[in-house]
Chains A and B, each alone.
Chain A
Amino acid sequence: AQSVTQLGSHVSVSEGALVLLRCNYSSSVPPYLFWYVQYPNQGLQLLLKYTTGATLVKGINGFEAEFKKSETSFHLTKPSAHMSDAAEYFCAVSERVGGYQKVTFGTGTKLQVIP
C-alpha cells in the first residue's frame, strides 16, 4: 500500500528565504507524485506533478520538486519565499489500484512567511 509522509506540519520562513517542504513516499510500483497547495477557504490546486522523464519538475509560482527514487523523496523547494506563498501544501502519491489511479495525500504542511 502506498503512503506519504510530510515532515513538519508547520514551517516558518522569512520573506526572501529558501522554502523547503519535505515529502517521502512509499509505493510498490513507480508512482506518480504531486504537490497541491490550499489557500485559506479554498480547495486544493495542483502546483506540480511528476509522472515520467525528467526528475526535476517545475511548477507554478516558482516552485519545483525533485523526484529521488533512491531516497523515495519528492521535496518541494522555492528559492525565495513571497508573502503570497503562505498556504498549506500537500504531497500526494498516485498508483494504479483496482483499475483506477488511487491518490493518497500526506497530512499537509502549513507554510508561514514572516515579513
Chain B
Amino acid sequence: DAGVIQSPRHEVTEMGQEVTLRCKPISGHNSLFWYRQTMMRGLELLIYFNNNVPIDDSGMPEDRFSAKMPNASFSTLKIQPSEPRDSAVYFCASSKTGTGDSGELFFGEGSRLTVL
C-alpha cells in the first residue's frame, strides 16, 4: 500500500518567493496533519484537517502560511512570501480518525525547504 506522499522532497527558493508543498494522504484516512520540524523547535503541529475541514490551525505561524484540502486525497501548504526563518522540514501525516482511534499517525518523508 502506498504511504503518505509528499512533494517536492527538496525545495530551495529565494526570500519573497511563493512556496507550495503538496501531500497525498493514505487512501481511507480522514485526518491530515501538517508538521514543521526544526532543530530549535522540534516538531510543531501547524494545522489539522478532519474530513477535509480545517479543525485546528492554531499552530500556523502567521498569515504568510495557508493550507487547503480541496478533497480527501490532496492537501497543500503554501508560504507566501517565504522568509529564511521558514527553512525547515515540513511533514504531512494522516490517520484514520473515529470512535476508539488512538491517534496513530502515518508520516510522509517530508519536504525540506531552504529559503535563501
CB within 8 Å of B: which residues of A? 32, 34, 36, 41-46, 49, 51, 90, 94, 98-103, 105-108
- Give complex CA distance A36, B4 in Å: 16
Q: Using Cβ atoms and an 8 Å threshold, which residues of chain A touch B101?
A: 101
Contacts of A44 in B (CB 8 A): 91, 93, 105, 107
Q: Is B102 in contact with A51, judged by CB distance below 8 angstroms?
A: yes
Where the two chains meet, the residues of B that have a C-beta atom closer than 8 Å to any C-beta of A are 4, 31, 42-43, 45, 48, 50, 55-56, 91, 93, 95, 97, 101-110, 112
Are A46 and B55 interface neighbours, CB within 8 A? Answer: no
B102, B106, B109, B110: the one within 8 Å of A101 (CB): B102
Excluding A42-B110, A98-B56, A102-B103, 16 further A-B contacts by CB distance (< 8 Å) are A32-B103, A34-B104, A36-B107, A41-B112, A43-B4, A43-B91, A44-B107, A49-B104, A51-B102, A94-B102, A94-B103, A100-B56, A101-B101, A103-B103, A103-B105, A106-B42
When chains A and B are docked, how far (Å) is the Cα of A94 from the Cα of B112? 26
A100 near B107: Cβ-Cβ < 8 Å: no
Q: Are A32 and B55 in contact (CB under 8 A)?
A: no
Most buried by B among A46, A102, A103, A106: A103
Residues of B with C-beta under 8 A to A51: 102
